[in-house]
Amino acid sequence: MEKYTYLILNILTLVGPLALSFEKNVHFYRKWKFYFPSLIITAVFFLVWDHYKTVLGVWSFNPKYLIGISFWNLPLEEYLFFFTVPYACAFIYEAVSFHIRKRVFSSNLNLHFWILSAICMLASFLVVGKLYTWSVLFLVSIALPLLTLVLKDKKLESFLLAYLIALLPMIVVNGILTALPVVQYNDAENLGIRTVTIPIEDYLYNMILLAMNIGLYQWFTSFSLNTDQQPTLAESF
């Protein structure tokens, strides 16, 4: 039964958000045509990243908790992870956008994101020798400014709320993955600082994943809406 551990975690991550996607208020399923392209692009990006980090020895996977099917140096469960987790996070974002209408944070979130980006960029130069730490700091410094170009005002606040809410299931799932461990980290490539068993770099990793996932989703949505609102040739006369 141990060999199904990672697979079961993937299933449990997806089952709730997928079922609630048909809830009458959020009805996330109606937006799948905008969301699935972003999900695929995000998954491909992170799978390539994961592959090279695995090859370089930044982390590895414990075969004891895997069903034994792998492609391109990654277990099947890791492929599923980059579909189940982003989907769950996107659903949280949609639920937050619908149910939380009042402002929770400062209206200057854009500025705060840019400041955080600058701090991460500067910090990345201090940890060049630690591949995992450097990569998440550097990519966050790029992802956040790009996100502010796509998400405006309330949507940016919904993103931040979704990220904070998603930390709870992330701590549970990632806590199991790192405690058993299913995923084994090479501490020579990170700071060696953990919240219980989770490397602190994983929190930035999760932010990059969510930023790319939601940013692309909103871009595809707005692009489609703008296209639909363009007048046809007949309507122009």
Reading the chain (237 residues) residue by residue, the pLDDT tens digits are 899 999 999 999 999 999 999 988 888 999 999 999 999 999 999 999 999 999 999 999 999 999 999 999 999 999 999 999 999 999 999 999 888 877 777 678 889 999 999 999 999 999 999 999 999 999 999 999 999 999 988 899 999 999 999 999 999 999 999 999 999 999 999 999 999 899 999 999 999 999 999 999 999 988 765 655 544 434 433
3-class state of residue 68 by DSSP: coil
Q: Give the separation between CA 56 and CA 134, rounded to whole angstroms.
A: 14
Q: Give the separation between CA 200 and CA 214, rounded to whole angstroms.
A: 22
Contacts of 16 (CB under 8 A, 6+ apart): 88
Residue 14 contacts residue 87 (beta carbons within 8 Å): yes
Tell me the HSE value of 218 on the side-chain side, using a 13 A CA sphere: 22
Q: Give the separation between CA 155 and CA 153, rounded to whole angstroms.
A: 6
Map tokens 């075969």 to a residue: 63
Maximum distance among all alpha carbons in the chain?
68
Residue 139 contacts residue 206 (beta carbons within 8 Å): no
Write out the E strands in 107-223.
Answer: 183-185, 194-195, 198-199
Per-domain residue ranges for the chain? 2-222
DSSP β-bridge partners for residue 199: 194
Closest to 188 measured CA to CA, from 130, 138, 123: 130
Residue 165 contacts residue 100 (beta carbons within 8 Å): no
Give the pair of three-digit tokens for residue 26: 């959020």
190: amino acid identity, one letter: N
3-class state of residue 199 by DSSP: strand
Whether this model's pTM surpasses 0.85: yes
Closest to 159 measured CA to CA, from 207, 101, 115, 112: 207
